[in-house]
Amino acid sequence: MTFTDLHLDHNIEKAIEDLGFQEPTPVQVQLIPHMFSRTEDVVALAQTGTGKTAAFGIPLVQSLDTESRTVQALILCPTRELCLQITDDLKSFARYMPKVGITAVYGGANIDRQKQDIRKGTHIIVATPGRLLDLINRRYIDMSNIRLLVLDEADIMLNMGFKDELDAILQNVPEGRQTVLLSATMPKGVAGIAREYMNDPVDITVGPKNAGISTVEHKYYVVRPHDKYLTLKRLLDYYPGIYGIVFCRTRRSTQKIADALMKDGYNADALHGDLSQTQREYVMRKFRERTLQVLVATDIAARGLDVDDLTHIVHYDLPDDLEVYTHRSGRTGRAGKTGISLAIATPKETRRIHSIERVVQRPFFEEKVPRGRSICEQQLFSLIEKVQNADVDTQLLSQYSTFIEEKLKHLTREEIIDRFVSLEFNRFLQYYGNNQEIKSVDKTAAPGPSFAGKRKSRNNFTSLKINLGKKDQIRPPQLIGIINKLTNSRNIKMGKIEIGTISTTIQIESPHALQVRNSFRGFTYHGRKVQASSPE
């Protein structure tokens, strides 16, 4: 089947062609005709990444009466990130329909601006429950003309405690509207909403209920609590091409783990509710553009972060709700590609692993933490593959050929290869050569203390001034990570860091101060040359 077979408006067909859509997904094939009926309520169960937004968004946009400036459709979703993502998707479907008005309503943004957009006239409101109910109570939204109600990610809205808000909103929506409920899982609460607020709904299920995606491989590691962070680092090193999300339970642990990774030189950053909207959008943009390799996030903050081609999902903390695991792991292995879900568990959590395995209905494989030798081999193979596949501009390099040949003429071919590989590879050999292996533990072993960073001594330090500051959105962990990467060392001790508006002063262990200072030569950050110098 093609989109042409679904009898879409030519403007919408043109828009989805621009988006690169070729064939409708199974949930789109099933849901779009039901939505065009305009009478049937629908409960659609499908995993994250199966094309649910297009499945309800395309027929929704096509069914609008653009001559009327009334609110005709309401879409409820759990988070502002998902609210903005859905809004952007709907606008892309309506790209060639300029009269269509779409307004996003969510907390954490200027409510006056949202009220102004609604007053101007809009056809579709995409909203989080709390902010929408606030606007309804203030009588800024007229719900009387709503003909279509969509409850997206209903299970997550209930998990986040929005049951009272949903009840209040649904009681204000006129009878006779079409209601579409979408969810990845079907817990009792979601079934209750369907019974109470929907009229004999049609059930659409893509894949078994509550099941995990078949293209995702599930592995888990049982370690002592104080080894969790070290295990995470080994997993990131063992998969050098990783592009994924590390999930933590709380905002505090999310920031803590992200800071530790950046400090240790990993290309990582945090996403959680304590960040400002500007910070969140900045981090999400970096991750979508793949200039950020690893995102450390809470479950709530990651809702709406619709990113393709994720290779791995890492569960640093197992979710409290077993069904949340389905949402997490469903972010990889999309569009027929394979993905890997890695869980780091403590001995006390192995029972929960087996409970999740039953919910997901996929086999889970217990693995040993990668040994240093295996990690070094993986890194070496990755480096060689990068060299083999590198694009070489011979014309550009030709102007430097004489200089290169002169500098390297005293080295044999083997010596050149060894030295080249050592530039990137030595730090892994040094690090893992000096660290004990992490042993998997017996499932009945008593847990040890939780991860905590060690305080560094601040004696015998030299201060350096670096022309990066708050205007560059630099934070201490990022700066430490840059220094570790430039010096190819994670063992240089650093002391107090003072970040100003345009520059930062950092204390470096005196024997390494000159090395750090010289390492910044030729380094650029977001296109700007960075220099390290002694404070005036």
Task: Give the class (CATH, top level) of 216-371.
Answer: alpha beta
Residues in the chain: 536
Exposed e or buried b per residue across 494-513, where buried means at least 16 C-beta atoms within 10 angstroms of its C-beta = bbebebeeebbebbbbeebb
Confidence band of 458 (pLDDT split at 50, 70, 90): very low
Give the pLDDT confidence score for residue 462 in this predicted structure. 87
Give the pLDDT confidence score for residue 213 in this predicted structure. 63
CATH 3.30.70.330 for domain 461-533, yes or no, is yes
Cα gap 277→123, rounded to integer Å:
25
Residue 393 reports pLDDT greater than 70: yes
Give the pLDDT confidence score for residue 442 in this predicted structure. 58
Q: Indicate if the alpha-carbon torsion angle 468, 473, 478, 482 is positive or negative.
A: negative
The answer to whether 228 touches 346, Cβ cutoff 8 Å, is yes
Cα gap 324→319, rounded to integer Å:
6
Range scoring the smallest mean pLDDT among 129-133, 156-160, 440-444: 440-444
CATH H-level superfamily of 3-205? P-loop containing nucleotide triphosphate hydrolases (3.40.50.300)
pLDDT in tens, 117-157: 898 889 999 999 999 999 999 889 988 999 999 999 888 88
| Higher pLDDT pick, 487 / 297 | 297
Confidence band of 457 (pLDDT split at 50, 70, 90): very low
In this prediction, what percent of the chain has a pLDDT beyond 90? 35
DSSP 64-131: --TTS-S--EEEE-S-HHHHHHHHHHHHHHTTT-TT--EEEE-TTS-HHHHHHHHHH--SEEEE-HHH
Tell me what the pLDDT averaged over the chain comes to. 85
End-to-end CA distance of the chain: 70
Residue 296 reports pLDDT greater than 90: yes
Residue 302 reports pLDDT greater than 70: yes
Q: What is the mean pLDDT of residues 67-83?
A: 90
Give the pLDDT confidence score for residue 451 in this predicted structure. 39
pLDDT in tens, 374-389: 888 888 888 888 888 8
Give the pLDDT confidence score for residue 293 in this predicted structure. 95
Residue 444 reports pLDDT greater than 60: no
Q: What is the mean pLDDT of residues 3-29?
A: 88
Give the pLDDT confidence score for residue 335 in this predicted structure. 65
pLDDT in tens, 222-279: 999 999 999 999 999 999 899 999 999 999 999 999 999 999 889 999 998 888 878 8
Integer angstrom CA distances of residue 17 from 4, 20, 52, 287: 11, 5, 17, 25
Give the pLDDT confidence score for residue 259 in this predicted structure. 94
Cα gap 310→314, rounded to integer Å:
11
pLDDT in tens, 326-356: 888 888 887 667 889 999 999 999 989 988 8
Q: Do domains 3-205 and 461-533 have the same CATH topology?
A: no
Q: Where are the domains of the chain?
A: 3-205, 216-371, 373-433, 461-533
| Higher pLDDT pick, 336 / 319 | 319
| pTM of structure | 0.63
Confidence band of 49 (pLDDT split at 50, 70, 90): low
Give the pLDDT confidence score for residue 239 in this predicted structure. 93
| Higher pLDDT pick, 59 / 494 | 59
Give the pLDDT confidence score for residue 447 in this predicted structure. 42
| Higher pLDDT pick, 188 / 203 | 203
Give the pLDDT confidence score for residue 237 in this predicted structure. 92
Give the pLDDT confidence score for residue 402 in this predicted structure. 87
Confidence band of 443 (pLDDT split at 50, 70, 90): low
Q: In what order do the strands lie in the sheet with 494-499?
A: 494-499, 504-509, 461-466, 532-533
Q: Is 362 helix (H, G, I), strand (E, B) or coil?
A: coil
Give the pLDDT confidence score for residue 133 in this predicted structure. 93
Confidence band of 459 (pLDDT split at 50, 70, 90): low
pLDDT in tens, 504-516: 999 898 888 888 9
